[in-house]
Structure 1
Amino acid sequence: MSEVLLTGLVIGESARWHEGRLWLSNWGAQEILAVDENGKSEVMAKVPTTIPFSIDWLPDGRLLVVSGPEGRLLRQEPDGSLVDHADLRGLGAAGLNEIVVDGRGNIYLNGGCTFTPDEGQAPGLILLVTPDGSVRRVADELSFPNGMVVTPDNRTLVIVESFASQMTAYDIADDGTLSNRRVWAPVTGDGISLDADGAIWAPGWTEDWQPVCQRVAEGGEILDRIHVDHACFACALGGDDGRTLFMLTADWRMNEGFEDNLNRLTTGPRTGQLLTAPAPTPAAGHP
């Protein structure tokens, strides 16, 4: 059973628990918000882009923002300004989507996202930005890459391939390189969150297309499900003990196309909500 913590969002995405608050990207409003456990929100940055834009932090606490359509990785400076953090030109960075920073300061970005890929094509990729500023491609042939998590030991990255309806895992080498690609679970998702038992909370749908946020074990067993009224775009474990599940939902209609949904949500009533529910196991890993 979930409770409503905040309403009035357009589309909430990229949920992250950070410094005692739940941070999120408010797509359609060009805002990054931080929300406390009483539902009080604060605008932490305005992002000069459209959709998508996602967030995480460097080990020194500076905010990173993926400016998706422009293929840019931005960093927030102490005066609040956003500057380019790394040069991604020439790496196929158009259509960037999600970000995760591991415990060593390696930054993983995914992109190549398109809602109308050619049949049989999987143009998605993962880029690695190392702490010394070098950038390289470390994975490709992904089918709409989405949310990512890294295990606490910094040895495994799991990414959602939304159009393949699966989560895919890679081993992480000492230099950040990815290898040993495999199916982690034949279950779809969006923005995901890892817990201390190694399970992943992921937005999803029931067999009859009812929206849920579900806890998935490696291999695909569904351990728990929380039913929500509207489509869930992202989730994150947080709170003082890491046992609160935060879920970002909005009235996304599966019988409408992407542009139709987006136009309705950005010009009509704001249906986006931040929900909470208790979780059995605390957060783990990154983000």
Structure 2
Amino acid sequence: MTTGAAPVWRACTPARFRLSEGARWMGGSLLFVDLLRGDLYRIHGVGGGSPEPLLRLTMPLGAVAPVADGPPGRWIVAAGPGIALTDARGALHWLARPGERPDRAMRMNDGGCDPAGRFWAGSMEVHAATGAGSLYRTEPDGTVHEVLDGLTVPNGPVFTADGRLMYLADSARGTINRHTVDPATGTLGPPEPFAFFPPAEGRPDGMAVDDDQNLWVALWGAGHVLCLGPDGTRLRALPLPTPHTSSVAFGGGLMYVTTALHRLERPGPLDGAVLAAATNVTAPPVLPYGPISGS
């Protein structure tokens, strides 16, 4: 594994965020969420001024994806207790609310689309109770299926360009598993252990697959982003000037990393910033969801 020259990280905006997550490159700009506040933002590189708010929900917002062929401002979201579509005004139209349970306080966490237009998102108990979370697959027709259970803090999933492999982290357990995927049906194969991180190395959080099919992982608590080859080999480790690195994305010649103020008693000047550094790594833009037939 190589470290190479340390990147020069710059804050993209003056704002700092409690829990920025879900970095996605779309249409020449970066999307990300402030998860606990329930806000979706867009920024345009480094030095672009204040982030542009696109959604303001009254519940935690784990992840979003644009709706294919939909009007501007329409999203599928993993928010609060479930999965919903939004209209241009930000109103939620629920597809499923599996987190509405009388026995546990649940919320949705990270998510994203596969190349076939399915939206995948994980759920967790708000205090990260062991094994309380699940992974859900939302079909282009709007039906929602639970496909995995027994998860604790699911992050990802992310997919290879052909849609045949899915990587899913369980941050609390320090694991990343890889599953085969049937592109036609979305059926998952059994989990294959891909990477494990003991607590001293940080917890695997948001991820991205680049155009060389390498997996990039933000390591929460460790202030690093790690690049893993398709065989699991650790290729590069990039240090950041803040411990809580939460997601990673590539676009416009930059590598973006979201970070968080969450649970830091004495935040430093860059904690909670969305950071960017120059890179020659490229990756596909955010994949869209959809569309729901008849809508």
| Coarse TM-score class (shorter-chain normalised) | 0.7 to 0.9
Distance 1:233 1:7, change over 3 A: farther
Deviation at residue 87 of structure 1 after TM alignment: 2.5
CA distance in 2: counterparts of 1:90 and 1:98, whole angstroms:
14
For the pair 1:73 / 2:73, whether they are aligned, the reply is no
For the pair 1:235 / 2:248, whether they are aligned, the reply is yes
List, as ranges, runs of 4+ consecutive aligned residues in structure 1 with deviation greater than 6 Å. Answer: 90-93
Q: Does the CA contact (< 8 Å) of 2:219 and 2:225 recur in 1?
A: yes
Number of residue equivalences: 264
- The amino acid that maps onto 1:180 is P
For the pair 1:18 / 2:17, whether they are aligned, the reply is no
The equivalent of 1:277 in structure 2 is 277
- Identity level (%): 22
TM-score by length of 2: 0.79
The equivalent of 1:123 in structure 2 is 132
RMSD between superposed Cα atoms in Å: 2.8
CA distance in 2: counterparts of 1:133 and 1:233, whole angstroms:
28
What does the per-residue CA deviation read over 1:223-243, in whole Å, with 9 as the maximum and x for residues that have no partner?
22221121211111112xxx4
CA distance in 2: counterparts of 1:73 and 1:88, whole angstroms:
6
Distance 1:84 1:270, change over 3 A: farther
The equivalent of 2:16 in structure 1 is 9
CA distance in 2: counterparts of 1:189 and 1:26, whole angstroms:
18
Deviation at residue 271 of structure 1 after TM alignment: 4.2
CA distance in 1: counterparts of 2:94 and 2:185, whole angstroms:
20
Distance 1:130 1:87, change over 3 A: same
For the pair 1:33 / 2:46, whether they are aligned, the reply is no
Q: Does the CA contact (< 8 Å) of 1:151 and 1:285 recur in 2?
A: no
- The amino acid that maps onto 1:3 is R
The equivalent of 2:155 in structure 1 is 146
- The amino acid that maps onto 2:196 is P
CA distance in 2: counterparts of 1:278 and 1:194, whole angstroms:
18
TM-score by length of 1: 0.81
Distance 1:9 1:235, change over 3 A: same
The equivalent of 2:58 in structure 1 is 48
Q: Does the CA contact (< 8 Å) of 2:26 and 2:286 recur in 1?
A: no
Q: Does the CA contact (< 8 Å) of 1:97 and 1:113 recur in 2?
A: no
Q: Does the CA contact (< 8 Å) of 1:54 and 1:99 recur in 2?
A: yes
Unaligned runs of 5+ in 1: none
CA distance in 1: counterparts of 2:283 and 2:30, whole angstroms:
13
The equivalent of 2:193 in structure 1 is 183
Unaligned runs of 5+ in 2: 1-6, 198-202, 288-295
